[in-house]
């Protein structure tokens, strides 16, 4: 059942946005993971990498390939990925289980090295979370959900200065949504406020 605000009421009686209402995998991701805080380097590097690969594609495509990505990139261990060489790049380019985009593969290896370099200044987690805005959006309709913000633009610029690639403002906004830095759940969604980071409103 559709709501005037854009949520869809599922058979379980719970309200979700359209992108999370049909596909069981997307629904599980939305109900259990999307928008929840990620505050460990390993987890945040994985999310950063997957958002990089998602650029220009649907998130459902990336989510279906997630386990293959984890295997191909050695569980997204920055220390391991940063040491990948040309043989690893060719291995990844031949791996049909992932998105075979050479520029994105090279960016992920590069970003692993940049993640390691950030450890000297407090680490990836503190760096990214330092861009958490003072307020979060409170969208009541699909049209009110932003796709970019001042905070995501600032984060993008800061990461680029630190040597990261494929970290544009829209991609960083998606990362901020996915990791709980902002709450863009529709106000009527059953997940609104579930992260514990923001007051429900």
- Any domain includes 58: yes
> Is 198 one of the catalytic residues?
no
Overall number of domains in the chain: 1
Tokens found for residue 62: 């990336």
Contact 183, 192 (CB under 8 A): yes
Q: What is the pLDDT of residues 118-169, one digit of tens each?
A: 999 999 999 999 999 999 999 998 899 999 999 999 999 999 999 999 999 9
- Any domain includes 135: yes
Q: Which residue among 29, 30, 34, 129 is the active-site one?
A: 29
- Any domain includes 95: yes
pTM (two decimals)? 0.93
Contact 149, 133 (CB under 8 A): yes
- Any domain includes 56: yes
Instruction: Kindly give the pairing relationship between strand 8-9 and strand 15-16.
Output: antiparallel
Where residue 49 sits, what CATH number does that domain have? 1.10.340.30
Q: Where would I find the beta strands (DSSP E) of the chain?
A: 8-9, 15-16
- Any domain includes 62: yes
The pLDDT-based confidence of 6 (bands split at 50, 70, 90) is confident
**pLDDT of res. 165:** 97
> Is 33 one of the catalytic residues?
no
**Does 185 count as an annotated binding residue?**
yes
**pLDDT of res. 201:** 45
> Is 34 one of the catalytic residues?
no
Q: Which residue among 41, 46, 51, 177 is the active-site one?
A: 51
Residue 83: which domain range? 41-139
- Any domain includes 181: no
Is residue 56 pLDDT above 60, yes or no? yes
**Mean pLDDT calculated for residue range 172-197:** 94
- Any domain includes 91: yes
Tokens found for residue 78: 């920055």
């Amino acid at each position: 059942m559709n709501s005037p605000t854009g949520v869809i009421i599922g058979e379980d009686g719970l309200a979700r946005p359209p992108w999370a209402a049909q596909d069981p995998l997307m629904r599980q991701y939305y109900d259990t993971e999307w928008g929840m805080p990620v505050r460990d380097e390993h987890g945040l590097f994985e999310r950063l990498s997957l958002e990089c690969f998602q650029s220009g594609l649907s998130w459902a495509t990336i989510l279906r390939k997630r386990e293959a990505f984890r295997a191909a990139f050695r569980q997204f261990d920055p220390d391991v990925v940063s040491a990948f060489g040309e043989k690893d790049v060719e291995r990844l380019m031949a791996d049909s289980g992932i998105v075979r985009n050479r520029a994105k593969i090279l960016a992920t290896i590069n970003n692993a090295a940049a993640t390691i370099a950030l450890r000297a200044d407090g680490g990836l987690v503190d760096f990214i979370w330092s861009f958490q805005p003072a307020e979060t959006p409170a969208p009541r309709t699909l049209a009110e959900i932003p796709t970019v913000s001042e905070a995501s633009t600032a984060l993008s610029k800061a990461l680029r200065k630190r040597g990261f690639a494929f970290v544009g403002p829209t991609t960083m906004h998606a990362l901020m949504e996915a990791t709980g830095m902002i709450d863009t759940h529709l106000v009527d969604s059953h997940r609104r406020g579930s992260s514990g980071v923001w007051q429900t409103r």
